[in-house]
Structure 1
Amino acid sequence: MMRKKSRQAPSSSSSPDSMQGMQDMQGMLRSNPLGDITAENDKKMLNEAFVATGDFRTLIESDDRTVVVGRRGTGKSALFIQLQKHWERDKQVVVLSFAPEDSEIIGFRSLMKPFSESFTLSRAATRLLWRYALLMEIASYIAGSYKTSSLVDRDHFLREHLDRWAGFKGSFLTKCRKIAKEFLTNDSCEEAVGDLSGNLDLESVEEKVLDLLGAAKRKIVVLMDRLDEGYEPDAIGIGIIAGLAYAAIELNKKSEYIRPIVFLRDNIYRALAKEDPDYSRNIEGQVIRLHWDWAQLLILATGRLKVSFDLHMEKDQRVWDRCTAGDLQGREGFKKCLQFTLYRPRDLLSLLNEAFFCAARQSRSTAIVSDLEYAAQSISLARLEDLWKEYQRIFPAIQIATSCFKDGEPELLAKSALLKIGTAFEEIEVSGDHAALAEARILHPSGLLQSLYSVGFLGVHDSSSSSYSFCHDGRTPDKGFSDNDKILIHPCYWLGLNLSKNALAEGEAEEINDEYDIKVQSTTPEIRSTKIGQVIAQLDKIPPGREGDREFEVWCLETLKIVFAAHLINIQAHPNGAAIQRRDIVGTNNEKSQFWRRVFADYRSRQVVFDAKNYSDMGPDEYRQLQSYLIGNYGKLGFIITRDSDEHLLAGRDLDWVREIYQGHGALIIKLSAKFLCKLLQKLRSPEKHDAVDKQMNSLLDIYERNYLSMKSTSGRKQKKQISPTVS
């Protein structure tokens, strides 16, 4: 297909097929014609155009699958609703559904904090708690039904447990948390887990509830969905999900009257499979994975078209051909649509809704290829812009870092990607965006590449599975990228970036594992913290004195570039190396922050000098040398970087020389210790605190002007004392 260079809608060269067709298309302007499988306002569409796939038939006709796994947008929630409706029509079946809010999961997580270091303990504790809670919910239903309540009333042991369960107000998980709170506060986690089953009387409760179900001859279906709410991919989060899966599988095996089904998103399931050493033995055989092929997706699309346009044709292909024109007709025409998707219902419905909307605006009752391409590009651009908005605050360089891949190839080697990101640095330098520039200087191209992986923008080729894997749990790769690693930009951004390839070929969608979480609020700061920690740690490896002179100067240069990103541009070491007065490090003050505007206004320093000294004791020679540099564009303010323990001036030494040079030559020299620069680096661990450095520097300059320069001379005193007004 041709590249799409703009977002202009296709022209209205086609006329309406019929007046009725036009009315149908105009109606689409008011709402999505095909609906969205998860939206509340599309329940009618879901009811009338649900596709009873083989997966659906398997779940209702057999009891040997307990865990349903699907990628984002593959119809898990639709399946949950339809299974619920199917079993509710059977008067001998009771349906209990469970779909927690994120606040419930978060509250439950708080109970498990003592197990944060052990997945095994977390899984063991939650497995017992889930079993008990599910049994209590089942028993509560039996006790609440007038036909079976007498069965419970005769059992004082079970009645006691039910009264305690009912005594706690709140949701299913809230009750579970409040009961468990009594038994999981032991100092020994292992002991608490070991005693939990006995404290809950779990074996006796289970035996009595199963007997009750046999006597009542009622089948209980328990549907559990939305378990990704409040989920975090750590030992507790994965342990909670694993515990639920184990509890559901065990109850399913123990009684023909209990049919639990757990719905899991693919990223959570993969994390569970990776973390649980017993996964293949206990869980793998209980899983059904949702899968859509082109024929099922055609049934889905045409079923919704029938409802939307009140069509009464039987054959799906005829319905499709009635609603499309030109190259979109026929089986191959439908497959053209799938090239822009990952064979997921949600992708397809979004694409077709936008395409039919475009056709209606052009007064056409049928969609054509140009509508499809416009829709695909529009959606791709929207997703790219959403990515920027989502992460701008915590990943300030994301827009520039992603835009550097425009007009290129979607598949490339890591070394080529690093070169592209390297060229983006120049654009960041010019942009004057302090936060983005600081990000780029902290992370370097390799760190930015890892960050792009962590937000799901690009994936890495997995040689073991011969597929591309996109970040699915908010983590960065276990290792850095090697030059020859193959990477792929996520297909949903291809059109938005105008890449050389704009759609997936048939079969390629199955090679994409794209189940990733938008969870980068912690990931990117972790990368920043790691990089900043590496810079700070490097200082301790540099020996003071002549031996480490060169290394210290390089460290100062790198640190200054990060700390004063965008506020000082073109920071260089020895920019006038051949001159008589060779200055160590110089940066251009572009007055982009309050502190640096103040420096230029008060001291006329356009070119700012930093003199790096890899030792502690400064004497008059060091101060006078720096003062000699402060002429012309270098203004009347300079910085001397030392290995002192802090930035405060010493009475009788530093203080007198700073005051003498200021009073005699009108020049101000500010001492910056390497430790003080490390403190500034620490302030940058969060990109949201990019102005913290400016505040620190303003406070330091205030101390010099208000305190140090107004103090009386301390020369002649035998004892040297630090003068240390506080810099917060």
Structure 2
Amino acid sequence: MKKLKDFQFGYADAEKEFTRIPEIFDESFYDYRQIAQKLIEKDSFLLVGRKGVGKSAVNARIRYLSTTKNNLNAFPLQLNDFEYTTFGKTSVDRNVIGTQKYKDSWDFFMLVTIIKFLYNNVKITESVELNKIIEVLEQLGFKIKNNLKYKQTVTRLSKIKVGAASAAIELAFENLKTEKPDTFQEIMSLLNEEMYDAIETTYTPTKEIIIMIDGVDDILRLRKNQLDILSSLIRSVDYLNDKFFKDGIKIKITVCIREDILIKITDPDLNKIKRDGSLTIDWSQDTDGLKKVVALRFKFSGINSEDSESYWYEIFPKEMQNKDSWEHVLEYTLYKPRDVLQFLKSCQELYPENAKLSFKQVSDALKAYSKDYFIEEMKNEVTGFVSEQLIILLPVIFQRLGSNQFSYSEFRRNFDEQSTTKIKNSEEVKLLLALLFESGYVGQLIKNKSKYGRETTSVIFKYRNPGSQVDFNQTFIIHKGIQKGLGIKLN
């Protein structure tokens, strides 16, 4: 039998997986409800899901397919370190709100990115129309040739907004044989039109191009104009995709976005876009799919295809605490592929020479997984929504509660007692608890009366019951994955 050290369970980061072991996205990739194929072939462009459900893995799968298909070219656009604060200066008008506030600036950014890609990656270097607009953009200070970085684009765009490039603008529009526009919005509108026309004239597709935007989580660090910038991005991508489709240009832009971030946008203009253009990854109704993810990693590591589905039980006991060991381990996860694979990595790190694990070894691995991964994931998931002070205190607060069950008032009181500076905003503590419920790290105990008058208690977690809503008058319960690492007593 194989030892645990002989298995390849991959990395927590899909980008690292694609760089180090790209072949894992071949036959070892489980395409949840054919989402990768739908993003390539259908109209949907928004890939939505909680943190860790596999959005970036879908992008990596599409990138892998582009290396094997002659009719597909996939280009990742990672916005992990995007200059949102600088970009926030490029609104068309301070009085405009919602999806229009930054739409022209996002249109500009995306069209410049496409032109860079066509020139530098697709190697369309002889087109008169493309070279003409590239010359204009470079006169304006935008570096196009041999430059795929976007930071300089954002910085230069903000300088044009504040009027720091008036001479360059005048020269550029002379070359376009057009009068210099009076406003930033007019400048953007004219340049966007010229860039789009150059792309339409130049790109005679032999391949479909997909530009995949990921890493928008960093927008959570921005306190001002956060939702306007994000809603404008979605509006811009939807607008450009519709325009490309209408004009027969085989270019598509996709956006990966966390469900908890998208929910914050309440702009009614986006409701139809979300309805028509989004695909959601939700494993709560497909735990068999999670098992297939694991089976495919076993197969990738050399286990025969016919044995991979049941190989879990070659490593783990058949049953634990009177239930199937697979179901037992799932109780310590949020039904996410990353959670299950990181548990397997914890087993591998603790017992590399073992081929099988005992009950105690599984328990120890769950404790290590909880401390090293699950609790950190909880803190990461609420980062950007509430103050860092609350997040740092959170594990301590859970331990101080003294039980896996608690009320909102107990939660609030412990924060007041533990904080070195009095937490003035009780609403922020309430928001934190709501976020923990929404992301599945706490659940609720709901008391019901049967028709015979007997009282029953239901345990409700959002990741298992997506339609459930938080009720601050109910008793809360801490997820087992948190309890294990913090040593919290069970009631």
Counterpart of 1:208, as a letter, is A
User: Post-superposition shift, 1:287?
Assistant: 0.7
Is the CA contact (8 Å cut-off) linking 1:306 and 1:319 kept in structure 2?
no
Is the CA contact (8 Å cut-off) linking 1:73 and 1:345 kept in structure 2?
yes
Given the alignment of the two structures, is residue 319 of structure 1 paired with residue 296 of structure 2, yes or no? no
The structure whose RCO (Cα within 8 Å, separation 6+) is larger is: 2
Is the CA contact (8 Å cut-off) linking 1:94 and 1:221 kept in structure 2?
yes
Counterpart of 1:413, as a letter, is S
2:10 aligned partner: 35
Q: What is the TM-score normalised by the length of structure 1? A: 0.51
Give the Cα–Cα distance (whole angstroms) in 2 for the partners of residues 185 and 393 of structure 1: 33
Change (3 A) 1:202 1:313: closer
**Secondary structure of the corresponding residue to residue 289 of structure 1:** strand
Please, which of 276, 279, 296 is the counterpart of residue 288 of structure 1? Answer: 279
**Secondary structure of the corresponding residue to residue 69 of structure 1:** strand
Please, which of 234, 239, 259 is the counterpart of residue 250 of structure 1? Answer: 239
Please, which of 464, 467, 478 is the counterpart of residue 489 of structure 1? Answer: 478
Give the Cα–Cα distance (whole angstroms) in 2 for the partners of residues 203 and 343 of structure 1: 45
Give the Cα–Cα distance (whole angstroms) in 2 for the partners of residues 56 and 397 of structure 1: 38
Q: Between the two proteins, what is the percent identity of the paired residues?
A: 15
Superposed CA offset, 1:49-94 (max 9, x none): 2223324344355231101112111112222111112123333333
Q: What is the TM-score normalised by the length of structure 2? A: 0.73
**Secondary structure of the corresponding residue to residue 217 of structure 2:** coil
User: Post-superposition shift, 1:243?
Assistant: 2.2
User: Post-superposition shift, 1:98?
Assistant: 0.9
Given the alignment of the two structures, is residue 65 of structure 1 paired with residue 44 of structure 2, yes or no? yes
Change (3 A) 1:64 1:397: closer
Give the Cα–Cα distance (whole angstroms) in 2 for the partners of residues 154 and 36 of structure 1: 44
Consecutive unaligned residues of structure 1, counting only runs of 5 or more, are 1-19, 429-435, 471-480, 503-728
Give the Cα–Cα distance (whole angstroms) in 2 for the partners of residues 388 and 281 of structure 1: 31
Matches within 5 A, 1:443-458: 443=423, 449-450=429-430, 453=433, 456=436
User: Post-superposition shift, 1:279?
Assistant: 1.6
Please, which of 405, 409, 419 is the counterpart of residue 404 of structure 2? Answer: 409
Counterpart of 2:237, as a letter, is A
Matches within 5 A, 1:441-480: 442-443=422-423, 449-450=429-430, 453=433, 456=436
User: Post-superposition shift, 1:348?
Assistant: 0.6
2:210 aligned partner: 221
Is the CA contact (8 Å cut-off) linking 2:36 and 2:59 kept in structure 1?
no
Change (3 A) 1:117 1:157: closer
Change (3 A) 1:306 1:258: same
Change (3 A) 1:221 1:313: closer
Counterpart of 2:252, as a letter, is R
Give the Cα–Cα distance (whole angstroms) in 1 for the partners of residues 376 and 122 of structure 2: 53
Give the Cα–Cα distance (whole angstroms) in 2 for the partners of residues 381 and 137 of structure 1: 41
1:91 aligned partner: 70
Change (3 A) 1:493 1:144: closer
Is the CA contact (8 Å cut-off) linking 1:356 and 1:367 kept in structure 2?
no
2:257 aligned partner: 264
Superposed CA offset, 1:326-382 (max 9, x none): 316999432222111101111111112223554556xx4223443333222233344
Give the Cα–Cα distance (whole angstroms) in 2 for the partners of residues 60 and 445 of structure 1: 42
Give the Cα–Cα distance (whole angstroms) in 2 for the partners of residues 403 and 314 of structure 1: 45
Please, which of 118, 126, 133 is the counterpart of residue 109 of structure 2? Answer: 133
User: Post-superposition shift, 1:394?
Assistant: 3.8
Superposed CA offset, 1:232-268 (max 9, x none): 3645232232222222222222224112111112232
1:177 aligned partner: 154
Please, which of 335, 345, 361 is the counterpart of residue 353 of structure 1? Answer: 345
Give the Cα–Cα distance (whole angstroms) in 1 for the partners of residues 67 and 378 of structure 2: 44
Is the CA contact (8 Å cut-off) linking 1:356 and 1:366 kept in structure 2?
no
Change (3 A) 1:389 1:146: closer
Matches within 5 A, 1:143-182: 143=119, 148-150=124-126, 152-153=127-128, 157-161=132-136, 163-164=138-139, 167-168=142-143, 171-182=148-159
Counterpart of 1:370, as a letter, is K
**Secondary structure of the corresponding residue to residue 357 of structure 2:** coil
Is the CA contact (8 Å cut-off) linking 1:50 and 1:300 kept in structure 2?
yes
How many equivalent residue pairs?
A: 435
**Secondary structure of the corresponding residue to residue 223 of structure 1:** strand
Please, which of 270, 293, 297 is the counterpart of residue 290 of structure 2? Answer: 297
Is the CA contact (8 Å cut-off) linking 2:53 and 2:281 kept in structure 1?
yes
2:467 aligned partner: none
Change (3 A) 1:397 1:494: closer
Give the Cα–Cα distance (whole angstroms) in 1 for the partners of residues 133 and 75 of structure 2: 20
Give the Cα–Cα distance (whole angstroms) in 1 for the partners of residues 88 and 102 of structure 2: 9
2:174 aligned partner: none
User: Post-superposition shift, 1:125?
Assistant: 4.4
Counterpart of 1:239, as a letter, is D
Superposed CA offset, 1:662-698 (max 9, x none): xxxxxxxxxxxxxxxxxxxxxxxxxxxxxxxxxxxxx
1:379 aligned partner: 369
Counterpart of 1:128, as a letter, is D
Please, which of 124, 149, 152 is the counterpart of residue 100 of structure 2? Answer: 124
Is the CA contact (8 Å cut-off) linking 2:44 and 2:278 kept in structure 1?
yes
Given the alignment of the two structures, is residue 306 of structure 1 paired with residue 306 of structure 2, yes or no? no
Superposed CA offset, 1:433-484 (max 9, x none): xxx4x43xx2389689548638849758799xx97679xxxxxxxxxx9972
Counterpart of 2:407, as a letter, is L
User: Post-superposition shift, 1:227?
Assistant: 1.8
1:670 aligned partner: none
Change (3 A) 1:494 1:229: same
Change (3 A) 1:278 1:167: closer
User: Post-superposition shift, 1:204?
Assistant: 3.6
Change (3 A) 1:318 1:468: closer
1:539 aligned partner: none
2:168 aligned partner: none
Counterpart of 2:256, as a letter, is F
Counterpart of 2:325, as a letter, is G
Give the Cα–Cα distance (whole angstroms) in 2 for the partners of residues 243 and 388 of structure 1: 29
Is the CA contact (8 Å cut-off) linking 2:46 and 2:255 kept in structure 1?
yes
Question: Which of these two proteins has the greater Rg computed from alpha carbons?
Answer: 1
Give the Cα–Cα distance (whole angstroms) in 1 for the partners of residues 101 and 225 of structure 2: 10
**Secondary structure of the corresponding residue to residue 278 of structure 1:** helix
Is the CA contact (8 Å cut-off) linking 2:316 and 2:362 kept in structure 1?
no
Give the Cα–Cα distance (whole angstroms) in 2 for the partners of residues 69 and 456 of structure 1: 19
Superposed CA offset, 1:114-169 (max 9, x none): 7599695474243222222322333344445898544x215775354354478527
Is the CA contact (8 Å cut-off) linking 2:50 and 2:260 kept in structure 1?
yes
Consecutive unaligned residues of structure 2, counting only runs of 5 or more, are 165-181, 447-458, 464-469
2:329 aligned partner: 337
Counterpart of 2:299, as a letter, is K
**Secondary structure of the corresponding residue to residue 404 of structure 2:** coil
Please, which of 200, 223, 244 is the counterpart of residue 210 of structure 1? Answer: 200
Counterpart of 2:151, as a letter, is T
Superposed CA offset, 1:289-347 (max 9, x none): 11222111111112212333x22142543322333333169994322221111011111
Give the Cα–Cα distance (whole angstroms) in 1 for the partners of residues 90 and 117 of structure 2: 33
Give the Cα–Cα distance (whole angstroms) in 2 for the partners of residues 447 and 320 of structure 1: 45
